[in-house]
Structure 1
């Protein structure tokens, strides 16, 4: 082969039409992502883009909408315990999972029902 993979550029999750403000409240307000300006040529499609560090997450509008219940992005976190403590203070539900050897992790859903994984390797 004469090519190689460098990294994932972004992950896109779907959301229903008109949900951009709810996405901003969750990803920007709760999780601390920064909003990115979408290119003008894509703004008519709706949705909203976010970034945290090197991670880009795009929320795209999909009709009819169906949440990703099994497929999901997994975010590596430094100090996962602090994140869980923060989420508890915000009354955000999450489910801990200890099935992956060498990792502490939990799952939660975004406001649209998309599954999200957060983990920290030992």
Structure 2
């Protein structure tokens, strides 16, 4: 039986951890979670998102701009996040409307597709 979602993983290029932490921790405000010692040598870092983790792994040779795969962050104030991302020169893409939600998408610094979504 599947009990729930434990974590999700995205990837960034090898050696881009500091740039990734600057974006995900400083711009998006997600706290970093310490990785277990056994996994620290693999690169990347972990983030806390609500009561779940996002693992940011490292991987070269991937064109992240070619995929629809993404994480969707549920937010309280989507307009605030639009402003924050625009202030950091992140291009915003409006999503196809769905009932009872406001949402938009963007690509992070590494090409990963990201969605911000707010229930209305």
Normalising by structure 2, report the TM-score. Answer: 0.88
Larger radius of gyration: 1
Q: Which has the higher helix share?
A: 2
Distance 1:90 1:112, change over 3 A: closer
1:29 aligns with 2:14: no
The structure 1 segments of at least 4 consecutive aligned residues displaced by more than 6 Å after TM superposition are none
Question: Which runs of no fewer than 5 residues in structure 1 stay unpaired?
Answer: none
Superposed, 1:76-115 pairs within 5 Å as 76-115=74-113
Question: For the aligned residues, what is the CA RMSD?
Answer: 1.6
The match for 2:12 among 12, 15, 19 is 15
Note the C-alpha offset of 1:65: 2.7
Matching residue of 2:48: 51
Deviates more, 1:85-94 or 1:67-76: 85-94
Question: Which runs of no fewer than 5 residues in structure 2 stay unpaired?
Answer: none
Normalising by structure 1, report the TM-score. Answer: 0.87
Note the C-alpha offset of 1:74: 1.1
- Tell whether the 8 Å contact from 2:64 to 2:110 is kept in structure 1 after alignment: yes
